[in-house]
Structure 1
Amino acid sequence: MPVSATKGLRVAVLADSDTRWKWGALTAKRTVSAESDIRLDGYLLRGRATPTPRQLREVGVHADSLREVTAVEFLRAMSEESYDVLVISLVGGGVQAMLHGLRRAWDGRTKRPVVVTGYVGVVYEKLADGLLLRHGADLVLANSRQDADRFRAVYEGVGADASSVTEVALPFLGGAAYEGEHGPYTVVFAAQPSVPENRKDRTYLLDRLVQHARLHPEREVLLKLRSRPGEHTTHLEELPYQKLAQRSDLPPNFRLVYGHMGEVLDHTDLLVTVSSTAALESLHRRIPTVVLTDLGVREVLGNHHFVGSGCLASWDQLDAGHRPVPDAEWVARQGVAAGGTSRTESGGGSYETAFDAARERIARLLATPQLPPLAPYYTTETAPGYLPGILARHHLGPDGTPLPGAPAADKEPGPVRQIVRRAARGAYRHGVQRVAPVIRRMGEL
């Protein structure tokens, strides 16, 4: 089946946070069809990071339908609905649970969707763990040639089928290439919810950003935040920068900003971060990009991923006017085609052609009369002490069937239930962002 024959398909995306909804929905649009004529149904897995309406608007990726579900509700929907492609955009444990649940839900069916999964951004930790939890999908997407090689090595190293690994690129890269300084010159620090984690390091970064604004009053200095107070994204944020900034005397050329990252990059002259995927978005557009070394180059920070990039620098260097020059070979290995036109190491094509292999593979699978049952590497034989716990977190038994008493509803929750649910989420977020830090400080006395 040619790539163009994948038009007019029904596609479902299951996501558990705003960033993973963005990745999943854009991955569906880029890998299922180069055109826009697909029906896209979104399912948001209910949990601590379920995106708010504001977060969904900020992501800016729309679906034909969108509803919040539990894992069991989703599996029921997949047993009743008929989709061509399913994109699972969850944490590794969630992916594994859904693969086993779907295998059970589709037992006996002659036709099932093509199942796609992958990673939202840079893979800098838990490589083997995360990959093996994603094994069993028809396509496990790698965002670069470097990742594809690493993924295959892990699967082959444990004797698992590596044919599902498919090289693509991050689906949210794009925008106009950087053409020169704006007025005023704008420095953007892309904050991360969990990197670094402790108050001392986060306060240090904020102080240095404010100091840079004072040293360069002619510049506009922006702190780009992922979520507003009370919201969660992919990772927990115990110490939001908004809270830390309340205690600072901020200069007039310093601002906190939210919104779509691409729109912020439209006016950025220098992007600074610890290890955010925003660095790859920035490099793609040829915007000068810095990955900070102030807190060390460490795996726990994720900035070790950028060794060899030419982007590593400190605030002292930036204060003195340093402008980084990225290493072209390193950028190419990351699946980043600067400006959207550079030729990549993976296939000599542009960014737009980076998804052709996935489209072709999906098209071939769709043309297959009957796909085999999903076959994850983890089973009750290969991981009897690990898999049952992963499935139980999503109220599934070891064979993928819903456990007795699993939360599931046949209809939308009523107003009272919705109010109680919002209150519970608010209490959880309050505990994470206010109570937990206090208890931790008390424990250090």
Structure 2
Amino acid sequence: MPPRTSHEAEPAETPAARPALRVAVLADSDTRWKWGALTARRLTAEAAGDGRGVHPVEVSGLLLRGRATPTPRQLAEVGEVGIDAERVREVTAVEFLHTVRDEGYDLVVLALVGGGVQAMLHGIAALGLPRRPVVVTGYVGVVYEKLADGLLLRHGADVVLANSAHDAERFRAVYEGVGADASAVTEAALPFLGGAPYRPEEGRDTVVFAAQPSVPASRADRTYLLRRLVEHARLHPRREVLLKLRSKPGEHTTHIEELPYQKLAQRLPGGLPPNFRLVYGHMGEVLDRTDLLVTVSSTAALESLHRRIPTAILTDLGVREPLGNHHFVGSGLLTSWDTLDGGIRPRPDTAWVAGQGVAADGSYGTAYDTARAKVTALLDAGEPAPLAPYYTPATAPGYLPGILGRHHLAPDGTPLPGAAASREPGRVRGAVRETVRNAARGAYRQGVQRVAPVIRRMGEL
């Protein structure tokens, strides 16, 4: 996979002397950072090898400034992604576009919410680069809501990754249904699946509930799930029961968490039993000691299934689209706390699992071959075709300007007046500017997580 600046190598040239393939990953949350960084590594794995004709790979990590921008602690907890967290920097949308223009990337992975992807596609197109980078995007997990909206906002990328055969079929159907080119849809898998296959250990009995920031949303539903988890721990005092949390209070993930389980646990009558614990950290490390994974609809269920860990999807609050557990209809995994309390564990349907990209059959090693070949072909082809998103000022004049405007871009993708990044000389001024930005971001997060929910609740009185 040669970089787009490559030239015919002389026979005596060594791999170390070859131009590097330059890759940028832009993410807007901790989970998308994990997906984007690992996707970049898998797409360039062949280029990073040691054989002749192989080029080194340089990956730049960039975080899009916003309400869910991950903290250093969150970056450290997502696990090994092959990019030094100390070298990851935070940027605005306009600053990112300046970086794309100045750095000459070969490949850009957009690990963003749909609106962010759409804005960056129009922004990159508006740069008018002599040779633009190949652009890849996709989803960080189970796609159970806003299918058409999210897909059309991602349309225009060179490669739109689908995490399973099931998703690839749905994605193509949406694009073809609106008359859009569906050739970018490429089947792959979640890039963070892995770990040793499940093996029970003598004397170990661990149940893990994988919490989600916004599912369910109401206090009553979240309190119910917490209460049932604690009751399960009391019913089985010799069993270790863990509540796996995504973030600490004050931090954001991909979705806003207005009612953290940590706070609900503090108010639970009777307190918490000794065999019940709240845990953080890398999901893979928690799964290493899990004997039963329970969740409503977390992507952790797919990680668990990949490793053949017993997995349960709760029906206690119904099987409903807002919960996302409707995605698991036909999986054989749907069950309730009453059933789990009685010691019965669901068994996955093998046909359903095979279609979901979890690759429990050992095929995961080749899951990215097609995507890698497509990216290689695009890089080798010379000048790629202009980016052509489905949404344009002509096709969506009442929708697109708002999407771009949130990222300080005009309807033609160019920066709005005053949105250009200021380039202040000197370390002191830069440090002061960064301090002010961090303080502002902290105030913004405080407002989003603490003040806004209170105002909304007051409005409901």
| TM superposition score category, shorter chain reference | over 0.9
Q: 1-side partners of 2:202 and 2:240: how far apart?
A: 10
Return the offset for 1:62: 3.8
User: Which moved further from structure 2: 177-186 or 260-269?
Assistant: 177-186
Residues 1:43 and 2:62 are matched in the alignment: yes
What's 1:156 paired with?
176
Instruction: Write the deviation string for residues 174-210 of structure 1: whole angstroms up to 9, x where unpaired.
Output: 0000011463300000000010111000000100110
> What are the within-5 Å matches in structure 2 for residues 390-401 of structure 1?
390-401=403-414
Cα deviation for residue 13 of structure 1 reads: 0.4
**Match in the other structure for 1:116:** 136
409-418 vs 257-266, which moves further: 409-418
Q: Which amino acid aligns with 2:63?
A: L
Q: What value does the CA root-mean-square deviation take over the aligned residues?
A: 1.9
Q: Please, what TM-score do these two structures have when normalized by structure 1?
A: 0.93
Q: Name the SS of the counterpart of 2:238 in structure 1.
A: coil
SS in structure 2 at match of 1:115 = strand
Q: Deviations over 1:405-443 (max 9, x none)?
A: 115232587444334333333333333333334334433
Pick closer, same or farther for the CA change 1:314–1:121 going to 2, 3 Å.
same
Matched residues in 1 for 2:19 and 2:285: separation?
A: 29
**Per-residue Cα deviation, 1:302-322 (whole angstroms, up to 9, x for no partner):** 000000111100011111101
State the partner residue of 1:346: none
Corresponding residue of 2:272: 250
TM-score normalized with structure 2 length: 0.90
Q: Aligned residues: percent identity? A: 75
Alignment of structure 1 residues 371-382 onto 2, 5 Å: 371-382=384-395
Residue pair 1:70, 1:407 contacting (<8 A) in 2 also: no
Residue from 25, 29, 34 that aligns with 1:17: 29
Gaps of 5+ in 1: 344-349
Give CA deviations for 1:191-247 in whole Å, capped at 9, x if unaligned: 000101110000001001100000000100000000011110111010000111111
What do the CA deviations read for 1:114-160 (whole angstroms, capped 9, x no partner)? 11000000000000100000000000000000100111111111111
1:95 maps onto 2:117 in alignment: yes
For structure 2, the 5+ residue unaligned runs are: 4-14, 50-55
Alignment match, 1:347: none
The 3 A distance-change label for structure 1 pair 419 and 243 is farther
Match of 1:208 in 2: 228
State whether residues 2 and 380 of structure 2, in contact with CA within 8 Å, keep that contact through their aligned partners in structure 1. no
Question: Aligned-pair distance for 1:39?
Answer: 1.2
Does residue 57 of the first structure (1) align with residue 70 of the second (2)? Answer: no
What is the total number of aligned residue pairs between the two structures?
A: 433
Distance in 1 of aligned mates of 2:202 and 2:435 = 46
Instruction: Say if 2:387 is the partner of 1:387.
Output: no
Q: Any idea what SS the aligned residue of 1:435 has?
A: helix
Equivalent position SS for 2:321: coil
**Displacement after TM superposition at 1:31 (Å):** 1.7
Alignment of 1:328-347 (within 5 A): 328-338=350-360, 342=361
Q: Which amino acid aligns with 1:266?
A: D
Q: After TM superposition, list the pairs within 5 Å mapping 1:229-240 onto structure 2.
A: 229-240=249-260
Give the structure 1 partner of residue 53 of structure 2. Answer: none
Matched, 1:26 2:34: no
Matches within 5 A, 1:44-443: 44-60=63-79, 61-63=81-83, 65-105=87-127, 107-109=128-130, 111-181=131-201, 183-248=203-268, 249-338=271-360, 342=361, 350-406=363-419, 408-410=421-423, 414-443=430-459
Structure 1 pair 433/113, CA: closer, same or farther in 2 (3 Å)?
A: closer
Report the Cα distance in structure 2 between the residues aligned to 1:213 and 1:424, rounded to whole angstroms. Answer: 42
Quote how far apart the aligned CAs of 1:83 are. 1.5
Residues of 2 paired with 1:120 and 1:54: CA distance? 20
